[in-house]
């Protein structure tokens, strides 16, 4: 049997990280920020009461809307939907009227045939 080979770093390189390029460091930084942001997004979109504290720099408290607020939001949504529908109907009506204002010529009249001259 062969003995396992153990590689030991020289004492001056012990505990040092490898040399990383700027784009690798930037990628790691963006990856960490994305993970934190996605976690905050999940918490923010949840329907439960929660408090977030990020090292006492960023503090957030989220409370779900009450029943009265939900009714108000439903009413606002319905009003905006009705506005959008009215606006669309108005635009459609305007388009139809603009088509009516332009005269419809239909088929063009055929040109008269040229009769041959019997005597040159």
Share the mean pLDDT of the chain.
78
Count of C-beta atoms within a 10 Å radius of residue 115: 6
Q: What's residue 64's pLDDT? A: 76
Residue 111 in domain? no
Using one digit for the tens of pLDDT, what is the confidence trace for 76-87? 989 988 888 888
Q: How many structural domains does the chain have?
A: 2
Structural domain span for residue 44:
25-64
Q: What's residue 49's pLDDT? A: 76
Q: Containing H/E element for 77?
A: helix 67-101
Question: Is 89 found in the same domain as 69?
Answer: yes
- Residue (of 64, 68, 71, 24) closest to 44 by Cα position: 64
Which of residues 12 and 111 earns the better pLDDT score? 111
Which of residues 104 and 114 earns the better pLDDT score? 114
**Mean pLDDT, to the nearest integer, of 57-71?**
79
Instruction: Check whether 10 has a pLDDT greater than 80.
Output: no
């Amino acid at each position: 049997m062969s003995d396992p080979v153990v590689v030991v770093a020289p004492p001056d390189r012990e505990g040092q990280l490898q040399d990383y390029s700027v784009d690798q460091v930037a990628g790691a930084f963006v990856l960490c920020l994305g993970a934190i942001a996605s976690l905050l997004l999940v918490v923010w979109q949840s329907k439960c009461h929660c408090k977030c504290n990020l090292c006492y720099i960023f503090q957030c408290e989220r409370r779900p809307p009450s029943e009265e607020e939900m009714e108000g939001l439903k009413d606002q949504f319905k009003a905006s939907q009705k506005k959008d529908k009215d606006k669309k109907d108005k635009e459609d009506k305007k388009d139809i009227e603009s088509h009516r204002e332009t005269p419809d010529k239909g088929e063009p009249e055929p040109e008269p045939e040229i009769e041959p001259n019997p005597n040159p």
